[in-house]
Amino acid sequence: MKTELQVQNLKCGGCANTITTQLSDMEDVRDVQVNPDLSIVMFEYDDEQTVSKVKEKLKTLGYPSQEDENGVLLKAKSYLSCAVGRFGN
C-alpha cells in the first residue's frame, strides 16, 4: 500500500534527506519520497501499523503530522534534523 502524510516543519532538502534516510531504515517502509514544497511524505508499506510507527518516528525527528500539536520543542528538533540532513552526508 502507499500513503501520503502531511507534516509540519518540513522546510528544505536537508529535512527531506533526514526523513528519507530515517524512514528508509525502518522495517516495512519502502519507496520513501519527500516533497518539501508541499510538506508531504510518501511511502509504501504492507502492515497498517507501520503508518502509526512512521508518524511517531517523524514526530521524534521534529516533523509531526498535520493533526498533531507542534510545540517549540518539535520545531527545535526539526532544525537539528535539518542540519543533520544537510551536513551529515
Dump pLDDT digits (tens) for 42-61: 999 999 999 999 999 999 99
> What amino acid occupies position 14?
G
Domain that holds residue 11: 2-87
Lowest model confidence (mean pLDDT) among 14-18, 38-42, 49-53, 80-84: 80-84
Q: Residue 79, Cβ neighbours under 10 Å: how many?
A: 14
Q: How far apart are CA 75 and CA 2, in angstroms?
A: 27
Q: How far apart are CA 49 and CA 21, in angstroms?
A: 20
Q: Is the pLDDT of residue 9 over 60?
A: yes
Q: Is the pLDDT of residue 88 over 70?
A: no
CATH of the domain at 75: 3.30.70.100
What does R_g of the chain's alpha carbons equal in angstroms?
A: 12
- Based on the structure, what is the number of domains in the chain? 1
Mean pLDDT of the chain: 93
8 Å CB contact between 38 and 55: no
Band of the pLDDT at 73, cuts 50, 70, 90? Answer: confident
Provide the H-helix boundaries in 2-71.
Answer: 13-24, 49-61
Average pLDDT over residues 8-35: 96
